[in-house]
């Protein structure tokens, strides 16, 4: 009997779909069989297929967005923006491929040329997350296909239907079925794929815990490329008398978009002590107006549920631990229904928590602390193993220059949210946030390897030193 994987709508608890669990050996073998022909396909043809993929996604945009919204629980307006990023990724990746992995040639002294070309790795595995189940794996798959790789894609077991829809769009565009394989399953299938001897690399987006385990697993396999995009415990500093309403809007966008389920979400708000009272008053007024609801509700919600009941239970337990350790609940984390994972946006003052856990609370929880001076604020912001995103809200350019110079993060923003990074820029962090393989515009770098060639049309060589004269 075929094993099935079921997925449920977070907002209703209803069964969404059941899909047959796949076999990593079968899918890797199929990708390996298809890879040579795909790598030999001219780049212009691969590019044309991916442009067609973008058009197919555009044609299917509304049912695609509906599926994403139902499977993740995110509002329909946000699911539509995710579909837009899937479409836009193709043109951005084509430009990045030409700029970062295109062919180059230069003349050499004495004749001939030095040529730079790039080759695909072969068969690469892509492990996708549930928070952006189309956009984030697509950000690996499109540049991998452009480079000439075959792909075995395992979506999160919490969002397999979105993964299946995405892969069907590739196939409908003419990408051979062997070149993009869909592996449905849970942790067992993920481990089988990641540990498979016949993959040439793994492109991962997900939690730091899983990413660190993969890093250990690949430590003795230097021949395989490993790109890790993990989480963040991202700081947001407010300083120098900014407009408080604007600051509050930026904080809410950072902390609560996607119900806080973004790796770039603002987790920690660090406030100049003299601004604390007026800022918190403004922030709570706005937070209290946030609509939490189901994807298709009217009026449209700002926030949907978290992904499932287990995630909600874990967040509630972690917040209870913080309160027990001395945190004050300015706005508590509350569950609207015992059977569904809808949570209210929480604000906790952790100023008096002596040993603040350096954890990514993947949900709508904002931890606030006071800072006595800007040096103290920077020290608090950098008190993390992560280093993905950080933002400063301040009217002072001088302050931003000091912030940029002192903060440890791969994405550093000024008067912008911590999240919402552009696909036309590199995306990645340091520490527990990644392994120096930034994605987005720089994904082309890890999807192919450079080959340098010294080339002359006719061989000519002599050895002038260290050789005895002919007798």
Kindly name the residue from 263, 272, 360, 447 that is annotated as catalytic. Answer: 263
Q: What is the pLDDT of residue 470?
A: 84
For 27-53, the pLDDT digits (tens) are: 999 999 999 999 999 999 999 999 999
Q: Which position has the token pair 């069989």?
A: 33
Mean of pLDDT values over 280-289: 98
| 3-state SS assignment for residue 281 | helix
pLDDT at residue number 85: 97
Residue 271: its pLDDT value, please? 98
Q: Is the model's pLDDT at 471 over the cut of 80?
A: no
Range with lowest mean pLDDT among 99-108, 260-269, 387-396: 99-108
Catalytic residue status for 447: no
The candidate with the shortest Cα–Cα distance to 187, out of 151, 229, 224, 158, is: 158
Question: What H or E segment, with its residue span, contains residue 315?
Answer: helix 309-324
CA quadruple 339, 344, 345, 347: dihedral sign: negative
pLDDT for the residue numbered 198: 98
**185: which 2 tokens?**
């399953």
Q: What pLDDT, on a 0 to 100 scale, did the predictor assign at position 249?
A: 98
Q: Are 426 and 440 in contact (CB under 8 A)?
A: yes
The pLDDT of residue 15 is 97
Q: What's the average model confidence in pLDDT over 278-300?
A: 98
Q: Strand, helix or coil at 126?
A: strand
Which domains are seen in the chain, by residue range? 4-230+434-455 (3.40.605.10), 234-414 (3.40.309.10)
Q: 78, 229, 272, 360: which one is catalytic?
A: 229
What digits encode the pLDDT tens for the residues 156-205?
Answer: 999 999 999 999 999 999 999 999 999 999 999 999 999 999 999 999 99
pLDDT confidence of residue 448: 97
Q: Count CB atoms within 10 A of the CB of residue 469.
A: 4
The Cα-based distances of 237 to 58, 231, 349, 401 in angstroms read: 38, 19, 14, 14
Tokens coding 83: 């579909």
Mean pLDDT value across residues 263-270: 98
The Cα–Cα gap between 95 and 21 comes to: 36
Which two three-digit tokens encode residue 29? 């073998």
Whether 38 contacts 174, CB under 8 Å: no
Positive or negative torsion for Cα 137, 234, 217, 206: negative
Residue 458: per-residue pLDDT: 87
Measure the CA–CA gap between 333 and 256, rounded to whole angstroms: 12
Q: Is residue 229 annotated as a catalytic residue, yes or no? A: yes
pLDDT (0 to 100) of residue 137: 98
Of the given ranges (104-118, 179-193, 314-328, 394-408), which has the lowest mean pLDDT?
A: 104-118
- How many Å apart are CA 210 and CA 193, to the nearest integer? 14
Q: To the nearest whole number, what is the mean pLDDT of the chain? A: 96
Distance CA 122, CA 120 (A): 6
Q: Tell me the pLDDT tens digit for each residue of 381-394.
A: 999 999 999 999 99
Can you spell out the DSSP letters for 322-350? HHHTT-EEEE---EEETTEEEE--EEEE-
Question: Which pLDDT score is estimated for 139?
Answer: 97
Q: By the 8 A CB rule, do 305 and 340 touch?
A: yes
Taking 80 as the threshold, does the pLDDT of residue 1 lie above it? no
Q: Of 468 and 201, which is predicted with more confidence?
A: 201
pLDDT at position 460:
83
Residue 300 has pLDDT above 80, yes or no: yes
Q: If you average pLDDT over residues 415-441, what whole number do you get?
A: 94
pLDDT at 110 over 80: no
d(CA 416, CA 414): 5
DSSP 196-244: -TT-SEEEEES-HHHHHHHHHHTTT-TTSEEEEE----EEEEE-S---H
């Amino acid at each position: 009997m075929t094993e099935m994987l079921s997925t449920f709508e977070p907002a209703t608890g209803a069964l969404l779909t059941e899909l047959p669990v796949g076999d990593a050996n079968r899918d890797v073998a199929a990708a390996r069989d298809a890879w040579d022909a795909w790598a030999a396909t001219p780049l212009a043809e691969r590019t044309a297929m991916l442009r067609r993929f973008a058009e197919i996604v555009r044609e299917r945009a509304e049912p695609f967005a509906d599926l994403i919204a139902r499977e993740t629980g995110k509002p329909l307006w946000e699911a539509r923006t995710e579909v837009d990023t899937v479409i836009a990724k193709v043109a951005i990746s084509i430009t990045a491929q030409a700029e970062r992995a295109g062919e180059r040639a230069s003349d050499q002294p004495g004749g001939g040329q030095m040529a730079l070309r790039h080759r695909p790795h072969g068969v690469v595995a892509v492990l996708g997350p549930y928070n952006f189940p189309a956009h984030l794996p697509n950000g690996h798959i499109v540049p991998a296909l452009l480079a000439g790789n075959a792909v075995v894609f395992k979506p999160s077991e919490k969002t397999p239907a979105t993964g299946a829809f995405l892969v069907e769009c590739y196939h409908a565009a003419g990408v051979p079925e062997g070149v993009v394989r869909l592996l449905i399953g849970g942790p067992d299938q993920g481990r089988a794929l990641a540990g498979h001897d016949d993959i040439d690399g793994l492109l991962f987006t997900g939690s730091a815990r899983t990413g660190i385990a993969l890093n250990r697993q690949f430590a003795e396999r230097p021949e395989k490329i490993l790109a890790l995009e993990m989480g963040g415990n991202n700081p947001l500093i407010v300083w120098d008398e900014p407009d408080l309403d604007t600051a509050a809007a930026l904080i809410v966008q950072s902390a609560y978009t996607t119900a806080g389920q973004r790796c770039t979400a603002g987790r920690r708000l660090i406030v100049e002590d003299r601004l604390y009272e007026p800022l918190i008053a403004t922030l709570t007024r706005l937070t209290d107006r946030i609509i939490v609801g189901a994807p298709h509700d009217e009026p449209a919600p700002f926030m949907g549920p978290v992904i499932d009941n287990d995630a909600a239970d874990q967040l509630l337990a972690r917040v209870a631990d913080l309160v027990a350790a001395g945190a004050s609940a300015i706005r508590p984390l509350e569950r609207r229904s015992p059977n569904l994972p809808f949570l209210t946006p929480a604000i906790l003052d952790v100023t008096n928590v002596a040993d603040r856990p350096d954890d990514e609370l993947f949900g709508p929880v904002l931890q606030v602390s006071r800072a006595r001076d800007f040096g103290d604020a920077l020290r608090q912001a950098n008190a993390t193993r992560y280093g993905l995103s950080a933002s400063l809200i301040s009217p002072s350019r001088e302050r931003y220059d000091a912030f940029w110079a002192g903060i440890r993060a791969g994405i550093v923003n000024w008067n912008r949210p911590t999240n919402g990074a552009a696909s036309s820029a590199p995306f990645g962090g340091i520490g527990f946030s990644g392994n120096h393989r930034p994605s987005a515009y720089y994904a082309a770098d890890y999807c192919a390897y450079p080959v340098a060639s010294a080339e002359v049309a006719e061989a000519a060589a002599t050895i002038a030193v260290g050789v005895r004269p002919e007798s």
